[in-house]
Every structure is written in C-alpha cells, then in structure tokens.
A and B are shown apart, each in its own frame.
Chain A
C-alpha cells in the first residue's frame, strides 16, 4: 500500500474495520507520516465534537408521556378505520352508479349525423346562397342580384 492507499483507509483504520494485516500496515505508516497522522487527528477531533454535541434533553416523564401519546393515536386510528372503510366503499359505489347511468344514457340516445350540406341549408334556408349551392347551375339573374343585395 502506498501513501494514497493508506490515506483512503484512514477512516476504516479509525473505526477498526480493517483486517489485522492492513491495520498493522496503516498503523506503522501513520507512526512515520506526519500528514496521515494529522488527518487521523482531525478525524478524531470530529468524532469528539460530534459526541460532545449529543446534548439532547428530554423531560423526566417522557417515556410515560410518549406511551400515552402512542396509545391515543392508535385509539384514534382504530376509531376512524371502520368509518373510513365505509366511506370509501360508499364513494366507490356512487362512482359506479354514476358511471352506469352515463353509459346507459349515451347508449340510449343516438344523435343524428349532421352533414355539411344540411347544416348549411339549415342556416341559410331559402336564401340565394342555398339555392346556388344546392340547385347547381339552375339560377336566374334575379338570384344573383338577390345574393349580391343580401351581402350588403
């Protein structure tokens, strides 16, 4: 193992996660290498800092309070579960009924097809345009005049 390899293993060395052989190699290297010894010292300071920072405090009666809270939550959940279950089933049933009704309605009512011609003729019934469109070339001078006047 060279210097770089050992630097990468310092973390595992500190945690005593290396094999006995590797542990010995790193140990000997650290004893002779100032840079690696410094890194190891910094890792140890970080560890000490984290351990010193573990200052969380809980009230004296925390355990009984937490147990009470947990029990209460469970009771609440078990009270709601059957209600929720029934409500979900009701919503699902309602949805199915609506779906069925929509299906039946759309199946029973058949819409008539609307052709462009019928649409136009409906919109322009008895107009000069409809006569020109649907009667082909059978138009008179009056038809043209009427069409021109109606466009004004």
Chain B
C-alpha cells in the first residue's frame, strides 16, 4: 500500500515547482484523509472542508518536508492534529451551546451508504456502522486517532508511533485501552448480536 519512494519523487517534483505533482499526491491520499476525518469526527458535512484544509496545510509546508519520514505519516499527522483542533473547537462550542449532542447525532446519522445490496443487508450494515461509529466518538481523542490509524489505515505500531510522534509503548497501550473501551461501550450490542 505504501508508496514511499514514489511519494518522495512527487514531493521533490513539487519542491521544484511542479504543481501537478501535488495534485497527484492529493489524488493518492484524499480518500484516506477524508475517512480519517470522518471516522474521527463523524458527520459528512465538514469532511470536504477539513480534507481541503489538510491539503492546504500540506501545500504550505511541503517545501520544508525533510524526507525523514514517509509522506503519508507526515500527512496523517497533519490530519490528526487538525481533527484534534476541531474536537477542541467543538468542545468550546459545546460550552456555549446545549444543542451540541443533537447536532452531533444528526450529523452522524445522515446520508445512508450507496453500496446497498438488499434492504435487510443494508439495514444491518448501517446499524453496525452507526453503532460502532457512535462508540468511536465516545473514546478519548488520543485513543480514537490511534485506533483509526490501526484499524482503518492498517498502519503498524511503528508507523503509528512515527506518525503521532509517540512511543511504541504508548501506541500499544492506547490501542489496547481503546479496544477495551469499545468493548465496554458495545457490550449490549455484542450480546444481542452474538
């Protein structure tokens, strides 16, 4: 999956003034970035804007990219930091708005999936997705982002440590705790479904 060397070539090309190289990098990673944002924050309405913001930040600082880490881990760090900023902003907003939870819920349950096979399959699939997504939103942001990078992006512990600039031990313990917390949050759901 990882196209590190290939990415480096594109980064170098961009640093030498080739803007098309940056567009290629966007095309390569836009889906992953959008999904990390979507899974971390929930709600589709902000995904496009925040994904764009990630690439704007990347564009601004790519001239200083030092090639000491892979491009994607650098990009995911920008993404996770942006998500954490957004969570802080929302918390601040929540202090002033009592409608926060209803806004969150409305955002999380909008627009069903397009990949529908049969109505009952789709219902089950949507239900599973929504239940897990809601539980995910209740994790601490630091646990949530680590779990998303592991489960969705399939990054190794080493790559996660590099991306988030934390120790390997911290990655292990956060993933374990995040999973345990998810298990507790989904306890009833698991009992019904098993």
Contacts and interface: CB of A to CB of B under 8 A. Distances in A.
Contacts, number: 124
Nearest to B148: A50
A70 B60 contact: yes
**Main SS at interface, chain B:** helix
Contacts of B38: 53-56
Interface string A111-123: 0000000000000
A4 interface: no
A57 to B, nearest CB: 7
A91 to B, nearest CB: 25
**Main SS at interface, chain A:** helix
Nearest to B20: A67
B33 to A, nearest CB: 9
Nearest to A50: B151
Chain B: interface size category: 35 or more
Interface in B156-194: 156-157, 172, 175-176, 179, 182-183, 186, 190, 193-194
Interface of A: 8, 11-12, 15, 17, 38-39, 41-43, 45-59, 62-67, 69-71, 73-74, 77
Interface of B: 19, 22-23, 26-27, 30-31, 34-35, 37-39, 44, 47-48, 51-52, 55-56, 58-60, 113-114, 125, 128-129, 131-133, 136, 147-148, 150-152, 156-157, 172, 175-176, 179, 182-183, 186, 190, 193-194
6 A-B pairs with the lowest CB-CB distances in the bound complex, closest first:
A49-B132, A70-B59, A56-B38, A56-B34, A54-B35, A63-B26
